[in-house]
Amino acid sequence: MDIVIYTNPETLLHKTMKGYHCYWSMSRPPKEFNDGDRIYFAIKGEVAGYVVPFSFDREDNDRTFEWDTKTWEPIDVVSAWRFCKSFRGFRYRWWRLSKED
């Protein structure tokens, strides 16, 4: 199941900059996340886009998720934006995907 991570604009820019290999660390990895699932990033009250990690390691707290930034898919169509209250950690995706997703 896809997850959502709330972060600040600077961190999102760093994690989506073209040509980079990025990772996200979690001390408590999501139990329902599987290979091929997406990580959505939210900033300033909206879901901004997603990445598809190529690696997910439940045991590695230093590099739980790894992805290449070429997988970054921004959500830039106003009708596709999802409202998101700020939170710490992660949440499972709470909206139903449309045909485009």
Digit-coded pLDDT (tens) for 34-89: 989 999 999 998 899 999 999 999 888 888 999 999 999 998 765 556 788 899 98
96-100 average pLDDT score = 60
Domain boundaries along the sequence of the chain: 3-92
Q: Centre a 10 Å sphere on the Cβ of residue 58 and count the other Cβ atoms it contains.
A: 12
pLDDT at 79: 54
Question: Please, what sign has the CA dihedral across residues 15, 73, 42, 92?
Answer: negative
pLDDT given at position 94: 85
Please report where in the chains the tokens 């590695």 appear, as a residue. 60
97 pLDDT tier (thresholds 50, 70, 90)? low
CB atoms within 10 A of CB 65: 23
Residues 6+ apart with CB under 8 A from 85: 45
Residues in the chain: 101
Q: What is the pLDDT of residues 9-30, one digit of tens each?
A: 999 999 999 888 999 999 888 9
**Residue 66 CA: distances (Å) to CA of 45, 78, 79, 83:** 25, 28, 29, 26
